[in-house]
Chains A and B, each alone.
Chain A
Amino acid sequence: MSTLIALFIAFFKVGAFAFGGGYAMLPLIQREVIDAHGWITPHQFVDIVAISQVTPGPIAINMATYVGRDVYGFTGAAVATTAVVLPSVLIVGGLAYLFLKFRNVAVLQSLLTGIRPAVVALLVVAAFSVFKSAVPDWRAAALAVASLAAFRLTRLNPLIVLGLSGLAGIVFFR
């Protein structure tokens, strides 16, 4: 039971404080599920990001479902997923109410003037800790550089780049 409560609190925090959506939510998720609770390993974390890329849906929900199931089965998955969505219902529901009344998002925009650059800092930190678990040797480093080049310099679909990198993994690491 206490595990379920911990799952709920951790993912409620993610839902309530992870600004920016998508990958910008990763630093907070990582902080909660790896650093604070040790529910999954850094390897599993990166693997779930890969799975999220090839499955539909928001990455935060994918993380909540996967980690919840890993920790406490189906109940854990349901609790964690509900917890990560609940703040959106409360916060955006409240904002929708205010917005329909006042039609003004200036205060929100002011808050974001500061929050967006802070999210950049958090993402850099997250990229560094992913680096440690994703690149153990020079072959992985070569794959990382090649993928980065593909993302930055070509218009290849990210899914194709991921697929090629996975295939290379089967060739290199089996």
Chain B
Amino acid sequence: MIPLIQAAVVDKNRWLRQEDFVDIIAVSQSAPGPIAVNVAVFTGYWVRGAAGAVVAAAGSAIPSFLVILGVAYLLAGFASNPLVMALFRGLRPAVLALIATAAWTIAKSTLKRPFHLSVALGGLVAVVFLRWHPIVLLAVAGLAGLAVNGWDARRGAEPGAGTSRRPSQGEGA
């Protein structure tokens, strides 16, 4: 989806320069929520302030809203059709494979240090066995990240070591 957004805001309308776009992607991937919506909000704010942010958010959400409404109405009529049911029974295993592939890709780009691995494994234990709510895990993990980077920075020769201004790209869809 990112290339499409880039074509719209950098190449076509020239709202942003390429280097600004890289920063915006960095912030948008760092924030919670759908990345496409985040990029739209950031771009909208950049170009026209708060009103621009609201308009861009609406613009990024309305097309999928309408498409899914249409699909849902259609499906409601065909839900008990044996052909459609069989189609979805065939689709589900492929969806599982998609999710597993996403997990693998994100794991490969993320789990680079012992700290990352221990957060992932600890998180697994916390959610599966200790029944932590995912939001609690995310908050604790975020604080742990802050603590570890702060510690690294204090040990490192230069302030801010261990944090990079530009994040790695490539995760998320």
Contacts and interface: CB of A to CB of B under 8 A. Distances in A.
B98 A151 contact: yes
Interface in A56-114: 56-62, 65-66, 69-70, 74, 77-78, 81, 84-85, 87-89, 91-93, 95-97, 99-100, 103-114
Interface residues on B, range: 35 or more
A20 interface: yes
Q: Is the interface of A mostly helix, strand, loop or mixed?
A: helix
B65 A61 contact: yes
B144 interface: yes
Interface string A133-174: 111000011011001101110000010011001111111111
A152 B94 CA distance: 12
B86 interface: yes
A19 interface: yes
Contacts of A92: 27-28, 31, 33, 37-38, 41-42, 45, 53
Interface of B: 1, 23, 26-38, 41-42, 45-46, 50, 53-54, 57-58, 60-61, 63-65, 67-69, 71-72, 75, 82-83, 85-104, 106-107, 110-111, 115-117, 119-124, 126-128, 133-135, 137-138, 140-146, 148-150, 160, 163-165, 167, 171-173
